[in-house]
Amino acid sequence: MDKSKLFLASCLSLVTTSMVFAIRGDAANDMSAAFHLTNEQLGLVFSPAFWCFTIAIFIGGAIIDAVGMRLLHILSALGYIVGVTMVITAPRNDVPVQSLFDTTGTTLLYLGFMVMGLSQGLVEAVINPLVTTIYHDQKTKRLNMLHAWWPGGQVIGGLLAVAMTTTMHARWELKMITIAIPAVIYLLMAISMKYPATERVASNISTGEMWAQTARPLFLILFVCMWMTAAAELGPDQWFPKVMGDLVPTLASNGVLFLVYTAGVMFLLRTFGSSVAHSSPISTLLVCSGLTGVGLYWLGSLVPGQSSVLVAILASTVFAVGKSYLWPTMLGVTSEQFPRGGALLISLMGGAGMLSVAVALPIMGGKIDSLGAAGALKFVSYLGVILVVIFGAIWAYYKSRGGYRAVGVTEAH
């Protein structure tokens, strides 16, 4: 078993997942024109990215011990390749459609993104327990390093799409094809490598005991917190280009660069600063929740036409630093405190995060309509206050018990 290659394949699969989000967003307008879709219909086409992701990660986490990580990893790569093929070969319709299922082309378009959504969920269902298994003594550190490739993939996909547009005037189909490149690479790697059994299976922890871990009070608290951390991180991300264009009018045509910038900050911190989260996970979550709240509130305090680009960059930096460690550290704490819950608990946590984003996006969109971009950011910033209180209480709990430490999988509870 080659740990380095398994970790590399995991990173490549996360890059693929992230590139789907970045390139799909860039190609949205061209895709809408090609298939004569309204914005509502295009939203329906993209919706499987969230609910299929959630379904796949929940099911994958429940069955991964039975079918093995290797098979699910291979299926995820095949799903990306098949999904991209369906999307780019879907026949164009000449007139608008009442329903996405009125024509073969729009049906294939929807099904293609649905297959890719399932692949995204399978990726998360595999790579998180895989990394915590092969690096069982560095779970939080390695999960942060792994999830550096989520923002890394956003940077790669975003800049690649922009470069292909400006230098090649590339069609949207060609941009979509680039998603299949890392998928093919990690498919070949997965086929050729040996995968370990998960940490829970290797330690002979029963399936019944694994499910029993879901009822533990701390897990339930963390599960609720994951809804808020994910919403505070990824909710604003999806609206960032529009919001920053509204708040800093001089950047109206380049709001996407703020998303690329914050993604770059996250990539660097997760890659080179993962030891920070590993050394004190709860303190990291506490501080990062506070910074995320401050960053969002500061961004919401920008005054259109008056606030400078420099101030916007500083506020974005605070937000970027704050959100950098939230998602992977939440997974790390779950795996360190509930190793007997195995892949199931990690997948439940990841699924909760993605489902949270699906709920948060329309809520934030409604707040933008009613309160404006600034008001919407301030509204989301209050999640940081709530999280500071909860993580502060968890930190105090562990301090009273002598400090935080990772729990061994064989330790009785």
Q: What is the pLDDT of residue 73?
A: 96
pLDDT in tens, 168-198: 888 889 999 999 999 999 999 999 999 998 8
Q: Which CATH architecture has domain 1-204?
A: Up-down Bundle (1.20)
Q: Is 51 exposed, middle or buried (0-12, 13-18, 19+ CB in 10 A)?
A: middle
User: Distances from the Cα of 216 to the Cαs of 190, 207, 209, 334, 345, in angstroms?
Assistant: 34, 16, 11, 11, 11
Confidence grade of residue 108 (pLDDT, cut at 50, 70, 90): very high
Which of 59, 200, 209, 64 lies closest to 132, judged by CA? 200
183, 77 contact by CB (below 8 A): yes
Give whichever of 18-32, 103-117, 235-249 has the largest mean pLDDT: 103-117
Reading phi first (left if > 0) and then psi (alpha if -120 to 50, else beta), residue 343 is in alpha
Superfamily covering domain 210-406: MFS general substrate transporter like domains (1.20.1250.20)
Q: What is the pLDDT of residue 65?
A: 86
pLDDT in tens, 25-54: 778 778 888 888 887 787 788 777 778 888
Whether 96 shows a pLDDT value over 80: the answer reads yes
Confidence grade of residue 256 (pLDDT, cut at 50, 70, 90): low
Q: What is the pLDDT of residue 238?
A: 66
pLDDT in tens, 273-291: 888 888 889 999 999 999 9
Rounded Cα distance between 114 and 122, Å, is 13
* Residue 217 dihedral angles phi and psi, to the nearest 5°: -55, -45
pLDDT in tens, 332-387: 999 999 988 888 899 899 889 888 887 887 788 788 778 887 888 899 999 999 99
CA 303 from centre of chain: 30
The length of the chain, given as a count of residues: 413
Q: What is the pLDDT of residue 43?
A: 74
Task: Match 């709530």 to its residue by tokens.
Answer: 386
What's this model's pTM, rounded to 2 decimal places? Answer: 0.87
> Average pLDDT, stretch 258-278?
86
Hey, do 1-204 and 210-406 end up sharing a CATH topology, with the first three levels equal? Answer: yes
Whether 305 shows a pLDDT value over 80: the answer reads no
pLDDT averaged over every residue in the chain:
88
Which distant-in-sequence residues (6+ apart) come within 8 Å of 277 by Cβ? 140, 141, 144, 284, 325, 328, 329, 332
Q: What is the pLDDT of residue 255?
A: 57
Upper half-sphere CA count for residue 59 (Cβ side, 13 Å):
12
pLDDT in tens, 121-174: 999 999 999 999 999 888 989 999 999 999 999 888 888 888 888 888 888 899
Whether 412 shows a pLDDT value over 70: the answer reads no
How far does the chain reach from its first CA to its final CA, in angstroms?
Answer: 31
Q: What is the pLDDT of residue 146?
A: 94
What is the residue extent of each domain of the chain?
Answer: 1-204, 210-406
